[in-house]
Amino acid sequence: MPIDPVCKMEISIADAAASHDYQSETLYFCSLDCQRKFERDPGSYMDDMSDEERVAS
């Protein structure tokens, strides 16, 4: 299951309110609000992710 990088919630792709391609991976968001926050500062959210998650996706 993809994880919303902003609120760290697991979301199914079918339920995702928004998606965003970032560094050749597709990220999914629970809401447009989370997507907007991510787009404002993508680096800060991606840095929170473990290396393991980065490799897995």
Q: State the residues that interact with Zn ion by CB under 5 A.
A: 4, 6-7, 30, 34
C-beta of 52: minimal distance to Zn ion in Å? 21
The alpha-helical segments, DSSP class H, found in the chain are 32-40, 42-46, 51-56
Distance in Å, CB of 28 to Zn ion, minimum = 9
Burial bucket for residue 6 (CB in 10 Å: 0-12, 13-18, 19+)? buried
Q: How far is the CB of 30 from Zn ion (least distance, A)?
A: 4
Beta carbon nearer to Zn ion, 15 or 51: 15
